[in-house]
């Protein structure tokens, strides 16, 4: 059996080596390392793939979130609501911009922002909602858009984990994750579903005016060379990374499919184990097993018999990598503690941090590996 990896970047590279190498060579041949033609080409290809008017490439997913919030003109004291159960980057940029982060609990089935908790958190100071499409599953955008409309709030989708996912609205129309709110952001960190070989990120929007503003902000606030209209940042996707991404983008759908297939294998293997809760795919509120609203950036189980930590160690001993995403609720983190937060308002997150475990999930998992992983887990949790 091949050694099991949490994310098998080397195995994936070997499958696409020629295209990626050629793409990188093209950049070396042209020596246009910053804002080269491949950056434009990748931008255009991603706009077509996502069916969105504007893609603004930038240096990483955290910058993408920060620049999106700067572009919307959010100001000190404005409240921005996001999920308590996510990677810290989401709340970090809110705090960094001196906006007021408001963390709310998540849904016990999808682990995405809880709609009732979101409604309760709205005050006259609320300006934006940041749904995170956690672990690759799109948040309930029907409900989020409705709330945003009612209260005139911006919606910023943190789509670092769900690029390629489709959201199906209640009326049956489909839209790519990240292109539904006023603005969406993503990360091309190597282990993300569309990863480059370094850092990278992008911002998506259908709003022409916002796109123009964002293009200036990523480039030192310049709209005309050496004229700085607003305070900006320096955040670029470099040409080599764009070359890697251009080579990998045509494979994204097949990558999503490979992840869903691995998830299906896991789901079947664990279906009858009373100590395990498998992921629910129910973005729009209804359980769906065939839709593409979950692209499994992570495959995350809940272990209900209190043996999560023992399982974690047991699997590591057997050579099966696994991880706890996330071990601490954001509202309990030193950096983000706030006297406004009451423990009783976070029952779901407080439970998840004790029960979740994420299994190896990538595009190169084979049946032999999946069988070994699932048998190791079911025999331990008999």
Which residues lie near ligand PLP (CB under 6 A)? 60-62, 86-87, 89-90, 132, 158, 160-161, 187, 189, 199, 201
DSSP type of residue 139: P
Handedness of CA 250, 256, 262, 265 (dihedral sign): negative
Q: Which is nearer to ligand PLP, 62 or 369 (by Cβ)?
A: 62
Chain residue at closest Cβ approach to ligand PLP: 61
Give the number of other Cβ atoms within 10 Å of residue 216's Cβ: 18
Smallest distance, ligand PLP to C-beta of residue 161, A? 5
DSSP 254-298: HHHHHHHHHHHHHHHHHTT-TTEEPPP--TTSS--SSSSSB--SS
Q: Which is nearer to ligand PLP, 189 or 380 (by Cβ)?
A: 189
Smallest distance, ligand PLP to C-beta of residue 218, A? 14
Smallest distance, ligand PLP to C-beta of residue 313, A? 25
- Find out whether 368 and 1 touch, Cβ atoms under 8 Å: yes
Smallest distance, ligand PLP to C-beta of residue 298, A? 9
| Length of the chain (residues) | 382
Cα angle vertex 97, ends 95, 98, to 5°? 65
Smallest distance, ligand PLP to C-beta of residue 57, A? 12
Place of tokens 């994936």: 12
Q: Which is nearer to ligand PLP, 217 or 276 (by Cβ)?
A: 217
Taking each helix axis from N to C end, the angle separating 308-317 and 367-380, rounded to the nearest 10 degrees, works out to 130
Q: Which is nearer to ligand PLP, 23 or 66 (by Cβ)?
A: 66
Smallest distance, ligand PLP to C-beta of residue 21, A? 24
Q: Which is nearer to ligand PLP, 127 or 297 (by Cβ)?
A: 297
Q: Which is nearer to ligand PLP, 178 or 360 (by Cβ)?
A: 178
- Find out whether 129 and 144 touch, Cβ atoms under 8 Å: yes
Whole-angstrom Cα distance, residue 320 to residue 312? Answer: 9
């Amino acid at each position: 059996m091949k050694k099991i990896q949490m994310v098998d970047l080397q195995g994936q590279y070997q499958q696409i080596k020629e295209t990626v190498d050629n793409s990188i060579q093209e950049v070396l041949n042209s020596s246009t390392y910053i804002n080269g033609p491949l950056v434009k080409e990748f931008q255009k290809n991603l706009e077509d793939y996502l069916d969105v008017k504007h893609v603004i490439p930038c240096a990483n997913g955290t910058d993408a979130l920060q620049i999106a919030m700067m572009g919307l003109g959010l100001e000190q004291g404005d409240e921005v609501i996001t999920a308590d159960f996510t990677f810290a980057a989401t709340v970090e940029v809110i705090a960094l911009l001196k906006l007021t982060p408001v963390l709310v609990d998540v849904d016990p089935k999808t682990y995405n922002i809880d709609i009732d908790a979101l409604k309760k958190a709205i005050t006259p100071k609320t300006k934006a909602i940041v749904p995170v499409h956690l672990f690759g599953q799109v948040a309930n955008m029907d409900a989020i858009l409705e709330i945003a409309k009612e209260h005139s709030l911006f919606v910023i989708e943190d789509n670092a984990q769900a690029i390629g996912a489709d959201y199906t609205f209640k009326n049956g129309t489909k839209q790519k994750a990240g292109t539904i709110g006023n603005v969406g952001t993503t990360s091309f960190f190597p282990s993300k579903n569309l990863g480059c070989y370094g850092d990278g990120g992008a911002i998506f929007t259908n709003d022409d005016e916002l796109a123009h503003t964002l293009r200036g902000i990523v480039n030192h606030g310049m709209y005309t060379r050496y004229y700085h209209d607003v305070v900006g940042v320096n955040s670029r996707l470099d040409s080599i990374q764009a070359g890697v991404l251009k080579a990998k983008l045509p494979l994204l759908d097949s990558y999503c499919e490979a992840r869903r297939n691995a998830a299906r294998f896991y789901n079947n293997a664990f279906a009858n184990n009373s100590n395990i809760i498998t992921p629910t795919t129910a973005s729009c509120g209804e359980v769906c097993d065939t839709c593409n609203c979950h692209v499994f950036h992570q495959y995350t189980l809940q272990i209900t018999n209190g043996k999560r930590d023992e399982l974690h160690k047991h699997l590591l001993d057997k050579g099966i990598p696994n991880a706890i995403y996330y071990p601490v609720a954001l509202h309990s983190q030193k950096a983000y503690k706030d006297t406004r937060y009451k423990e009783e308002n976070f029952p779901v997150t407080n439970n998840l941090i004790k029960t979740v475990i994420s299994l190896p999930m990538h595009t190169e998992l084979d049946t032999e590996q999946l069988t070994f992983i699932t048998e190791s887990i079911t025999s331990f949790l008999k």
